Amino acid sequence: MTDTPYADRYSVVIVGGGAAGLSVAARLRRARPELTIAVIEPSATHAYQPGWTLVGAGVMSLADTLKQEGGLIPQGVTWIRDRVRSFQPDAMTVTLENGSVVEYRRLVVCPGIQLNWDAIDGLKETLGRNGVASNYYRDGAAYMWECVRTFSGGTALFTQPVMPIKCAGAPQKAVYLSCDHWRREGVLHRVKPQFCTAGVRLFGVAYYVPSLQKMIDYYGVEVAYKENLIAVNGQKKEATFQIVGTDQTVVRPFDMLHVVPPQSAPDFVRSSPLADEAGWLDIDPVTMQHKKYATIFGLGDATNTPNAKTAAAVREQAPVVVKNLISSLSGEPLEGAYDGYGACPLTVSYGHVVLAEFTYGGKVVSSLRFDQRKPSRFAWNFKTRIFPRLYWYGMLKGIDPKVSHKLVDTNS
Ligand SMILES: Cc1cc2nc3c(=O)[nH]c(=O)nc-3n(C[C@H](O)[C@H](O)[C@H](O)COP(=O)(O)OP(=O)(O)OC[C@H]3O[C@@H](n4cnc5c(N)ncnc54)[C@H](O)[C@@H]3O)c2cc1C
């Protein structure tokens, strides 16, 4: 990492030093060390967010999910520790919160998804207290484990907002792991678990739903569809849900509540010329190049590509972005192609995972050579031991191996 003041103009500027930004920076640096590259990232701490489901279940420590951002920025890449305020794509510049302007030849936009905690009335006042927890922020995951560990009975409510969200399976992973903990502690019979989702089915890809339904039945979870959390009263221990598509509301009492916040494109992307009508970064789903501005590429949770917003998707997108960005710098055709791959390791119990893998259009694919609908100990070991290492020492270093996936015949 260079700590000299940044120059005005870089070959490549990367907005966001999360999973996507660091993967692209590392790969690009290896492929083209002569390029000047800058990562704009305000945070000093980088989080392995897929680990937070495990932190909330006492399987991983919070410390194991965190590293200093400075130690992860690749050697020779400049870290601009600030936040982008706005984009000027015609001038090929971005403006930072501190007012400085940074020029680029190519821009990679990957600032992640925005968590809209304020959209739930009363939530901010009670989050992290009164039994109201969330695996969707770092201290929340630690508090979630405290709530689960000390819970001895009563109503445990778990929510899921309107899509899209990052890791669509994470809301129900919290349900399964909490219930399995209570089962192992012998208190599940005193718990009334309820999963209230704004969706109309358990999971977007129908192939995996029967396996998940089996776990819901096994733990005795009551599922309420089309219920969207709109307000929380932590003192009274009441959660208010709106029935999706109506003005009707339902108030549910709780003793413990796991909240997944509504999510959207980041405001500074939404209000920029780079956004589509819904506010997401408007890129080609195959080449990852911006639909209007050829000097801009994007990946990760902030884009409008119709894949599952996961680190698994980022892992497949980063090599495509790097390949196409390099081609675009030398005026060659863009040959890198992303197929919409995403994966969701659904932790259905301590020790077992249903590893859902799919591409654009919900086509089921498989990287492993067994029926991935079946809860697997092998996949659990991947989720808890292999994936974190692959993330820190492979993906973020730009050296993770390509793992091929095969189309699954879902009729057989
Ligand atoms: C509880 C939970 C469980 C998950 N489980 C899984 C899982 O099992 N498997 C899986 O594959 N994925 C999982 N994910 C999803 C995964 O973490 C994300 O999809 C992934 O981190 C997306 O990478 P990203 O770089 O787009 O966004 P992020 O990693 O969130 O990084 C975005 C970065 O942009 C920075 N930024 C924001 N605004 C600005 C700005 N204005 N200027 C500059 N920088 C900015 C942020 O500080 C941040 O560092 C999970 C996520 C959560 C929360």
How big is the CA angle at 235 (ends 189 and 138), to the nearest 5 degrees?
A: 75
pLDDT digits (tens, 9 = 90+) for 302-356: 999 999 999 999 999 999 999 999 999 999 999 999 999 999 999 999 999 999 9
What is the residue with the minimal CA distance to atom 15 of ligand 1?
Answer: 310
Task: State mean pLDDT over 131-139.
Answer: 97
- Residue pair 306/340 in contact (Cβ under 8 Å)? The answer is yes
Q: Is 58 in the pocket of ligand 1 (CB under 6 A)?
A: no
Task: State mean pLDDT over 214-221.
Answer: 98
> Which residue of 62, 301, 400, 405 sits with most ligand 1 atoms within 8 Å of its CB, as the best mutation to test the pocket?
301
**Spatial CB neighbours of 307, under 8 Å, sequence gap ≥ 6:** 285, 313, 338, 340, 341, 342, 359, 360
Residue 1 has pLDDT above 90, yes or no: no
Q: Is 17 in the pocket of ligand 1 (CB under 6 A)?
A: yes
Residue 4 has pLDDT above 50, yes or no: no
pLDDT digits (tens, 9 = 90+) for 170-181: 999 999 999 999
Residue 367 has pLDDT above 80, yes or no: yes
The pLDDT of residue 400 is 87
Q: Is 111 in the pocket of ligand 1 (CB under 6 A)?
A: yes
Secondary structure E strands in 110-197: 114-115, 132-133, 154-160, 191-197
Mapped onto helix, strand or coil, the DSSP state of residue 243 is strand
Pick from 263, 339, 264, 326: which is nearest to 297 by CA?
326
The pLDDT of residue 6 is 45
Mean pLDDT for all residues in the chain: 96
The pLDDT of residue 402 is 85
Query: Could you tell me the pTM of the whole model?
Result: 0.97
